[in-house]
Amino acid sequence: MSDTPRTWLTGATSGIGRALAERLLARGERVALSGRDAEALEALAARHPNALVLPLDVTDRAAVREAGARLEAAFGGLDRVILNAGTCEYLAASDFDVDLVERVFAPNFHGAVYCIDAALPLLRRARAEGGRPLLAATSSAAAYLPLPRAEAYGASKAALSHFLESLRLDLAGEGIDVSVIHPGFVRTPLTDRNDFPMPMRVEVDAAAEAILKGLDRRRLDIHFPRRFTLLVKLTGILPAALRYRLGRRLTRPEAAPEAR
């Protein structure tokens, strides 16, 4: 078992991922930092000899497989994996865009699956060394409840949550824990692009602290801010007709699409 925790973090260059990276590195953990911006990764790692820069586009399956080989060579095993890479685009039903749906699913779901495929052998190695490894990924509170224009984003996150919760059951016998992170609104460069009110939005530092606290306690479902996420969860279990009526209040009037 490694004396120093070995962590792989994707989406490390901005927002929640960067805040997590800074805290994990400050703890003295050995952290492999992945993201598409190699320069930003190098700048983040410059002050931390415990950082491994691992540039990566998680949607590139071959590149993810190669990253797994590099992680094995550098760390041997992994005690923790935090899959945080993702994107968000909103769909207008009046201008239905299949390419948009595929763009969102590529990092949010398929990219996470590619990373899990690469990480599992290294998590198993850590378990064989006597550790209790942890796999975690950032989903969203949107996974709890269908919302207008969130067909692509919400579905990709719901798919990720379902996949991980199922995988948790199958990995339990191996001694590998799985945590799913469901943030509400967090102030990041991604949410700064949103064109609608974001109730109870929290700062990125508060989000990172909540996530690390939940990971340290190995919570199954790490969600915050709890006043918001509990309300979303409650709404998500209402009868379908009532959910529909509530959701309709949030929709925007759209021009009817032209006949083709």
Place of tokens 């690390």: 212
pTM given for the model: 0.91
Active site residues: 153
Place of tokens 């919570």: 219
135-171 pLDDT, tens per residue? 999 999 999 999 898 999 999 999 999 999 999 999 9
Q: Which of 232, 92, 228 is nearest to 150 (CA)?
A: 92
Residues in the chain, overall count = 260
Copy the structure tokens of residue 146: 């269908």
47-66 pLDDT, tens per residue? 999 999 999 999 999 999 99
6-248 classified as CATH 3.40.50.720: yes
Query: Would you kindly state where each structural domain of the chain is located, as residue ranges?
Result: 6-248
Place of tokens 């490894």: 133
Q: Which of 13-17, 63-67, 174-178, 248-252 has the lowest mean pLDDT?
A: 248-252
DSSP-derived letter for residue 202 is B
CA angle 142, 210, 49 (to 5 degrees): 115
Copy the structure tokens of residue 216: 């340290």
C-beta separation of 168 from 136 below 8 A: no
